[in-house]
């Protein structure tokens, strides 16, 4: 029996994934009876999905190459080989996408598109065995270059060449590595982290204190610094965090249950005092409680999840979290971007999320995960990860004109970004939102957006409907070059940033059309998931 490695999913480097420029991620319409739930039922039916009658084998490179047809398709992901033949009709990306990895190592292709997917759980009944050689020596799948592609009836410009993946970049020099110290009084124990760099005012620490175990993760751009102890004595659940932004200092103060001097802070646990890239850090989940659900439209709701008492977590603007739930015995994981309870909160602080996380989520009729979410009752729990994603506020440095292009629930990362731009970033002279939806009733926070537009001359919003009623007097259609030409103005003394988010096809087309307007890669950020 092979010793199958256990990995943390969604994958440790998962983001609200952006497919590299030119790589299509369009979904296909699945046949009736081929939903995720149907696949889960099939895997539990007892049917032999590997063709090996329950045996696990070691697979050589030569053997893997033989299984490269539609009805006999093996692929390797992170050194483990799966027979994905039975999964062909269930794959949202279609048979063609799976066949790109037929008979070869598909790890790179998998990571480019949906690395956060819990494939170990979904394909556990398809496991053939382990590669007999290192996965890196197996032939690597290469992205298929297409001459052109069409989205919404429009032809995309040829994609830019995909650069070669560089080798692993070196870690920052040792003197740039954060360090920590601790001190105590009879009543408190205090941990101080010196990040050696300026940090955001609301802080960048995620603290989990539960059962005497303290996990303190400091998010520093693309890097993660982790402190992890089993504390030497009992402490109270409550704690306080003080951040000195300019000097990069974070102090965590915890109250002792019994007033006494400790001889040591505690027993170091896994990955203690480690400084690694955030994408290489295993995701850590905590159980949150559903405390309210508020309707936004007929099928979109704001779910308010409350963090446990021993957790303090700020989700930076533009970042997302992962929700994880066990559905019929399988872990299903999805990314969602937090919003605030209202578009423009009455308090001045744009950053502080408090103890609650608000998620604006559309419930789809055939969406396994969203239907599960919608079935939760007040008081039910759900697992939530820490902040993820590549967006950085450095992108907004010196920006004078911010353009937001959103479709449907692709509006969610724009909501807090819009608030930040109008409340805290004086350098931004103009913020414009073009919001695409099918029907008038689908527009999220329409009244709030119109009210904001009326009260702040620096903000403009335009709604575009693809299936409007006869009474609609606004713009109609889908994103195209003429719309963006009118929307994107670039004064001579300006610095522009265009943010795009929506369904994959919308995002890919829009990014290409924005580039045709003369904006560079550095002036465009695409949120995708």
Of 10-14, 89-93, 383-387, the least confident: 10-14
Same domain, 271 and 293: no
- Confidence category of residue 134, pLDDT binned at 50, 70, 90: low
pLDDT tens sequence across 237-246: 889 999 988 8
**Given 114, 131, 148, which residue is the final one in a domain?**
131
Q: Are residues 428 and 501 in the same domain?
A: yes
Tell me how far apart the alpha carbons of residues 28 and 389 are, in angstroms, rounded to a whole number: 26
Query: Are 384 and 398 members of one domain?
Result: no
Of 3 and 214, which is predicted with more confidence? 214
State the total domains in the chain: 4
pLDDT tens by residue, 392-401: 888 999 999 9
The CATH number of the domain holding residue 356 is 2.40.30.10
pLDDT at 159: 44
Alpha-carbon gap, residue 352 to 315, rounded angstroms? 9
Residue 494: which CATH number?
A: 3.40.50.80
- Tell me the pLDDT band of 54, cut-offs 50, 70 and 90: confident
| Residue of 383, 425, 382 lying closest to 402 (CA atoms) | 425
Which of 257, 277, 297 is where one domain is finished?
A: 277
Query: Does residue 514 carry a pLDDT above 70?
Result: yes
CA geometry: angle at 356 spanning 360 and 219, to 5°? 95
Residues 334 and 238 in one domain: no
Q: Which residue has the higher pLDDT, 415 or 279?
A: 415
In a domain, 169, yes or no: no
Q: Domain ends where: 368, 388, 408?
A: 388
Q: Is residue 73 part of a domain?
A: yes
Same domain, 404 and 372: no
Calpha distance 502→18 (Å, rounded): 11
**Lookup: tokens for 194:** 């010196």
pLDDT at 255 over 80: yes
Residues 316 and 417 grouped into a single domain: no
Which residue range is the domain that position 308 belongs to? 285-344+352-388
Examine the domain organization and report whether 227 and 252 are in the same domain. Answer: yes
Report residue 133's pLDDT band, with 50, 70 and 90 as the boundaries.
low
Domain presence at residue 154? no
Is residue 171 situated within a structural domain? no
Q: Quick check: is 59 in a domain? A: yes
2 in any annotated domain: no
Of the listed ranges 24-38, 94-108, 287-301, 423-437, the least confidently predicted one is: 24-38
6 in a domain, yes or no?
Answer: no
Task: Work out the mean pLDDT of the chain and round it to a whole number.
Answer: 85
Are residue 418 and residue 363 in the same domain, yes or no? no
Do 269 and 316 belong to one domain? no
Residues 271 and 331 in one domain: no
- Read off the pLDDT of each residue in 238-259 and give the average, rounded to a whole number: 92
d(CA 373, CA 325): 9
CATH number at residue 239: 2.60.40.790
* pLDDT over 60 at 169, yes or no: no
What digits encode the pLDDT tens for the residues 347-374? 544 444 468 999 999 999 988 999 999 9
Same domain, 492 and 413: yes
Residues 504 and 452 in one domain: yes
Band (pLDDT 50/70/90 cuts) for residue 140 is low
Residue-wise DSSP of 22-66: T------PPPTT-SHHHHHHHHTTT--SSSSTT--EEE-HHHHHH
What is the domain-level CATH number for residue 73?
Answer: 3.10.120.10
* In a domain? residue 43: yes
More confident residue, 249 or 173: 249
In this prediction, residue 116 has a pLDDT band, given cuts at 50, 70 and 90, of: low
| Confidence at residue 9, expressed as pLDDT on a 0 to 100 scale | 37
257 touches 211 (CB < 8 A):
no
What was the pLDDT predicted at 173? 60
């Amino acid at each position: 029996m092979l010793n199958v490695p256990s990995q943390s999913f969604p994958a440790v480097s998962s983001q609200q994934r952006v497919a590299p420029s030119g790589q299509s991620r369009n979904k296909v319409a699945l046949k009736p009876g081929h939903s995720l739930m149907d696949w889960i039922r099939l895997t539990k039916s007892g049917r032999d999905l590997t063709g090996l009658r329950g045996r696990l084998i070691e697979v050589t490179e030569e053997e893997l190459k033989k299984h490269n047809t539609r009805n006999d398709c093996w692929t390797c992901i992170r050194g483990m080989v799966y027979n994905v033949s039975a999964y062909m009709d269930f794959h949202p990306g279609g048979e063609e996408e799976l066949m790109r990895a037929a008979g070869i190592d598909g790890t790179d292709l998998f990571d480019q598109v949906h690395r956060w997917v819990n494939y170990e759980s979904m394909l556990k009944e398809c496991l053939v065995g382990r590669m007999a050689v290192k996965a890196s020596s197996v032939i690597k799948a290469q992205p298929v270059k297409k001459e052109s592609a069409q989205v919404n009836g429009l032809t995309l410009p040829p994609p830019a060449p995909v650069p070669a993946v560089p080798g692993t970049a070196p870690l920052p020099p040792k003197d740039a590595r954060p360090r920590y110290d601790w001190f105590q009084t009879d009543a408190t124990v205090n941990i101080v982290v010196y990040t050696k760099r300026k940090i955001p005012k609301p802080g960048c620490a995620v603290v989990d204190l539960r059962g005497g175990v303290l996990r303190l993760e400091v998010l520093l751009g693309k890097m993660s610094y982790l402190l992890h102890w089993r504390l030497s004595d009992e402490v109270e659940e409550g704690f306080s965090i003080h951040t000195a932004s300019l000097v990069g200092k974070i102090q965590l103060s915890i109250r002792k249950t019994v007033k006494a001097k400790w001889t040591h802070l505690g027993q170091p646990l896994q990955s203690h005092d480690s400084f690694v890239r955030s994408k290489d850090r295993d995701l850590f989940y905590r159980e949150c409680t559903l405390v309210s659900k508020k309707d936004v439209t007929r099928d979109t709701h704001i779910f308010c999840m409350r963090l446990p008492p021993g957790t303090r977590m700020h989700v930076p603007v533009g970042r997302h979290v992962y929700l994880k739930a066990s559905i019929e015995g399988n872990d299903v994981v999805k990314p969602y971007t937090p919003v605030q309870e209202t578009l423009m909160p009455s308090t001045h602080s744009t950053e502080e999320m408090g103890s609650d996380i608000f998620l604006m989520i559309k419930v789809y009729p055939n969406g396994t995960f969203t239907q599960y979410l919608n079935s939760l009752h007040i008081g039910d729990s759900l697992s939530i990860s820490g902040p993820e994603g590549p967006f950085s506020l450095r992108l907004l440095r010196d920006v004078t004109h911010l353009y937001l292009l959103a479709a449907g629930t692709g509006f969610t990362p724009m909501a807090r970004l819009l608030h930040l731009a109008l409340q805290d970033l004086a350098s931004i002279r103009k913020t414009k939102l073009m919001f695409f939806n099918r029907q008038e009733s689908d527009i999220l926070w329409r009244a709030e957006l119109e009210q904001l537009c009326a009260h702040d001359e620096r903000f403009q919003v335009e709604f575009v409907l693809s299936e409007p009623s006869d009474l609609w007097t606004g713009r109609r259609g889908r994103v195209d070059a003429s719309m963006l030409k009118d929307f994107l103005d670039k004064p001579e003394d300006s610095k522009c940033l265009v943010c795009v988010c929506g369904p994959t096809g919308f995002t890919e087309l829009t990014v290409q059309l924005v580039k045709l307007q003369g904006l560079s890669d550095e002036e465009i950020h695409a949120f995708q998931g």
